[in-house]
Amino acid sequence: MAKVKVGIIGAGGIAQVAHIPNFQKITGVEVAAISDPNEEKLKFVAGKFKIGSSFTDYRKILEMDDISIVSICSPNFVHKEHAVESLKSGKHVLCEKPVAMSGAEAREILETAKTTKKKFMVAFPSRFAPGAVFLKKLVDRGEFGEIYYAKASCLRRRGIPGLGGWFTTKKMSGGGPLIDIGVHILDKTYWLMGAPELVSVTGVTYQKFKDKAFDGGWPPVETRVGDKYTQPLDVEDLSSAFIKFSNGASLFLEASWAGNSEGGTSLSLFGTKKGAKDDGASLKIYDEVNGVLLDNTPVLPGADTYFEEIKHFVSCVLEDKEPVTKPNEILNVIRIIESIYLSADTGKEIRLE
């Protein structure tokens, strides 16, 4: 059988740590081409992973007829262009989070995926964590009853990525921890809540570590070949928000790259029949049986969530299945983020009906 050939756009941290090695682990899949405007890094990565074709212009990948999947690992501000052009050239697209910089950009991508009839998925590895998969099954079977409230939190005490590079420059990243790491826990929680329609968003952002910021170690130093980190930091270091949905449910969300608090990632679901707290490493289900309150701690297997995510996307392409990230979820997650920033800037609640 002919190999499934993959092209990678962007040869940085996530490409080197997650995308290239995991595509290469799948039998019958070949990473055939890579692009990055940073020539030094491009050469280094192509050599390290033995990738046959490498280009500074990503369009050269799109001209390769034998490539069927494009994996977008570039900075956020170019996701829309890379996704739309890749879809238009007939490729299936796995795109790193956040999908794009705004709801309008996301809509353009999703419409292009629809008209070209190509698969489009956003890379959210936390959906593939065993705890999340288990929870989703319980929720879908109605075991939580009505989920009317949730909390989602992703807090780093000290962990600003790529200080002085695109991550900390608003016009390239779209923002700080909210759009970078908050997007993961927001996506997972919103998905588990059943992706209800949006009503309103109120948000605040803070920037308190600008003068004492230091580089938090992502992208891994060994992946940064030829990168320059010389730009000013102009994004928040903490964001907090309250989101209301049309079914009456609400969500409290917080994300930080730096702050004097407990660190960690967790979500809580409050249902009329059951509740849950999932901090990634452990999961607790809060139940009531015959009037007695019961705490259940499922014993979950370990999993390589990046590998599961990439394997899932390849199987969607090969078996013509719909990827786990649905268009309305992809769109509403970025609309929530965009509205939190707008609310923080204007001091107003943003209506989204």
List residues near ligand NAD by CB under 6 A.
9-15, 35-38, 41, 58, 73-76, 78, 96-97, 123, 125, 162, 180, 219, 223
- Report, in Å, the least distance between residue 261 CB and ligand NAD: 22
CB of 15 to ligand NAD, least distance (A): 6
Query: Which is closer to ligand NAD, CB of 111 or CB of 222?
Result: 222
CA distances from 116 to 84, 94, 120, 166, 168 (A): 10, 15, 10, 30, 34
For the bound state, the minimum distance from the C-beta of residue 249 to ligand NAD, rounded and expressed in Å, comes to 26
Give me the least distance between CB of 251 and ligand NAD, in Å please.
21
Nearer to ligand NAD, 14 or 276 (CB): 14
Transcribe 19-38 into DSSP letters. IHHHHHHSTTEEEEEEE-S-
Helix (H, G, I), strand (E, B) or coil at 242: strand
Which is closer to ligand NAD, CB of 15 or CB of 160?
15
Nearer residue to ligand NAD within complex by CB, 227 or 254: 227
Q: Label the pairing between strands 53-55 and 250-256.
A: unpaired
Q: Tell me the residue number closest to ligand NAD, measured at CB.
A: 12
In this structure, are residues 154 and 181 in contact, taking their beta carbons and an 8 Å threshold? Answer: yes
Residue showing tokens 């660190």? 263
| CA separation for the pair 34, 31 (Å, rounded) | 8
CB of 233 to ligand NAD, least distance (A): 15
Q: Give 13 or 275: the residue with its C-beta nearer to ligand NAD.
A: 13
In whole angstroms, how far apart are CA 87 and each of 8, 111, 121, 185, 258?
14, 10, 12, 27, 37
Give the nearest distance from C-beta 53 to ligand NAD in angstroms.
15
CB nearer ligand NAD, residue 34 or residue 276: 34
Phi, psi of 170 (to 5 degrees): -55, -40
